[in-house]
Structure 1
Amino acid sequence: MPLTANATRFDRDYLGDCYRSSEDERRAALEDIVRATPDIMAILTSIKRLRLPDGWLVSGGVYQTVWNALTGRPADHGIKDYDIIYFDGTDLSYEGEDAVINAVETDLPLLAERLETKNQARVHLWYEKRFGRPYPPLSCSMESLTFYAAKTHAVAVRLKNDGQLDIHAPFGLSNIFGMRLAPNHSFDNRQTYLEKGARMKAQWPELELVPWRAEAD
């Protein structure tokens, strides 16, 4: 199936089926959607301009933009925030992270209220107090994707120095294009998964929610 430059014409039944379509096709489709979305490109350009170490745009701002393209909705429909992550192990202070947050928001004033910027090197310092369970120290930004509540959440994009798009999706992109929320049982995120699933189903009724297996706990 040839991919059209009009993202709303992408066939999610085809792209969401890993037996019928290839990951290369999904990556090409994702790149087309990202490059056609001005807010996403502004964020990626800012990450590159500010030289955030190991900086990426991740999760909902990416896959929900794809869902909107697939279903013909406005590009920012249902997107609560845009998650920007980076990794700076040389400064684990709150003040250091806050300075980066302020720099990003200053660089993107029109999107500032919807940006969430976090240093992945210090997540383990506050995670247990907020969520009631420990979180391991990470070695890089992309390691964090393996702990997301859903495999569908685990997608990251950034601009390389040559302007090419760098895409990282440790569980692949078929769930994103198939509009399936698939649980990630590598970390006990059942409650987060259920809460996010209910919220997303309300925004995208087409979404398939794969149940969290009780035996996986």
Structure 2
Amino acid sequence: MRPPLDAAARPDEQALRDIVYQTPWLMHALRIARSLGLASWCIGAGALRNAVWDHLHGYSAPSRLADIDLAYFAPENLTQQHDDALLAALQSMAPDLPWEVTNQAAVHLWFGSHFGHDVAPLRSLAEAIATWPEYATAVGVYLDYADGLRIIAPHGLQDLLQMRIRHNPARASAETYRQRTLQKRYQERWPDVVVDPAPPLRRRHSTSTARSHQLPATPMPQSTSTESTGAHRKRVFHKQGAIDARQATTLRARRDNAPKPRPCAAPRYSATASRSCCKRHISA
């Protein structure tokens, strides 16, 4: 039996409640999860997204569901054995559902090995949901004991109900978001979904690379005599000028000794002269 309408509920919250109450498999999963007696829990992410977008697209049968994410928060027990025990209990009560169980209080223990950077411990289930990769899936719901549907949506419900995928940069990198959008094939499964492109990757320009593109500066030798600064600079500039003059003389000698190219037989600026015969003769 559906609880009476909450007069204080916002329209978007009531819209989500109506969709969930009309989705039998999700209501069944919520009741099974509630029977575990966890103090802080929800079903959210992809399971909730599928239910909402299937309903908004008018699908008569639920689309393929990879898993049903039961997220809970229990900082007093961070062991994998606790997750495994809860998963076994869910599978025994509803073996036909693809359960997945994660204690959000323990995410910081394995996040670095999976995603390449460490994160701080989370302080609540709501804070955990706020870090999920897309705003549309950063939503969780749970049932109270009167079958009232409670909603945890730190970023609101707009993206979920408007079927829009946007990157949540709280913890997911741009590359993770890009890979997820390719893997999930959102627009193939739900044609009305809008997927925002991934933000550009930040490229770090190394100091050594930047220096390699700069011309080397002529070193200014340190004067050990008592001559004035002006006289010292004049001596250095004269020395550099002499070096430049010697280099110019060497280049002129190489040019004068180089074999002379055969003159081109075609008249200058001829329309029939080819580009390869002479640089001065360019076909029109």
TM-score interval (norm. to shorter): 0.7 to 0.9
2:167 is aligned, of 183, 191, 201, to 183
> Structure 2 vs 1, CA of residues 65 and 167 (structure 1 numbering), >3 Å: closer, same or farther?
same
Shift of 1:48: 1.4
Please say which structure displays the higher CA radius of gyration. Answer: 2
- Closer, same or farther in 2 for the Cα pair 1:166/1:53, shift >3 Å? same
- Superimposed CA distance per residue, residues 158-217 of structure 1 (whole angstroms, 9 cap, x where no aligned partner): 011222110111111111111110111222422222222232233222211112333889
Structure-1-length-normalised TM-score: 0.82
Q: 1:216 to 1:69 in 2, by over 3 A?
A: farther
Q: Residues 69 and 139 (structure 1 numbering): CA distance in 2 closer, same or farther, change over 3 Å? A: same
Structure 1 residues 156 and 216: alpha-carbon distance in aligned structure 2, compared to 1, 3 A threshold: farther
8 Å CA contact 1:30–1:66 kept in 2: the answer is yes
Summarize the Cα distance change of 1:166–1:205 in structure 2 as closer, same or farther, 3 Å threshold. same
CA deviations on 1:108-142 (whole Å, 9 max, x unpaired) are: 1221xx11111111111111112212122112222
Match runs of 1:118-157 below 5 Å: 118-157=102-141
* Percentage of matched positions with identical amino acids: 30
Could you say which structure has the higher helix fraction?
A: 1
Distance 1:180 1:75 in 2: 22
Q: CA deviation at 1:63?
A: 1.7
Mapped partners of 2:65, 2:173: distance in 1: 21
Quick one: which of 33, 44, 54 aligns to 1:68?
54
Distance in 1 separating the partners of 2:60 and 2:121 = 37
TM-score, with length taken from structure 2: 0.64
Alpha-carbon distance in 2 for matches of 1:98, 1:70 = 34
Unaligned runs of 5+ in 1: 1-22
SS in 1 for 2:130: helix
Residue in 1 aligned with 2:149? 165
Aligned mates of 2:123, 2:26 — CA distance in 1: 26
| 1:48 maps to which of 14, 31, 34 | 34
Give the match's secondary structure for 1:50: coil
Contact between 2:71 and 2:104, CA under 8 Å: does it hold in 1?
yes
Q: Any stretches of 5+ residues in structure 2 without a counterpart?
A: 1-8, 204-284
For the aligned residue pairs, the C-alpha RMSD in angstroms reads 1.9
Residue aligning to 1:85: 71
CA spacing shift, 1:201–1:136, aligned 2, 3 Å: farther
Aligned residues: 193
TM-fit CA distance, 1:35? 0.8
**Higher relative contact order at CA 8 Å, sep ≥6: structure 1 or structure 2?**
1
Name the CA distance, whole Å, in 1 between partners of 2:124 and 2:94: 25
Indicate if the aligned counterparts of 2:174 and 2:200 stay in contact, CA closer than 8 A. Answer: no
Q: Could you list the runs of 4 or more consecutive aligned residues of structure 1 that deviate by over 6 angstroms after TM superposition? A: none
Distance of 1:125 and 1:44 partners within structure 2:
27
1:103 to 2:89 alignment? yes
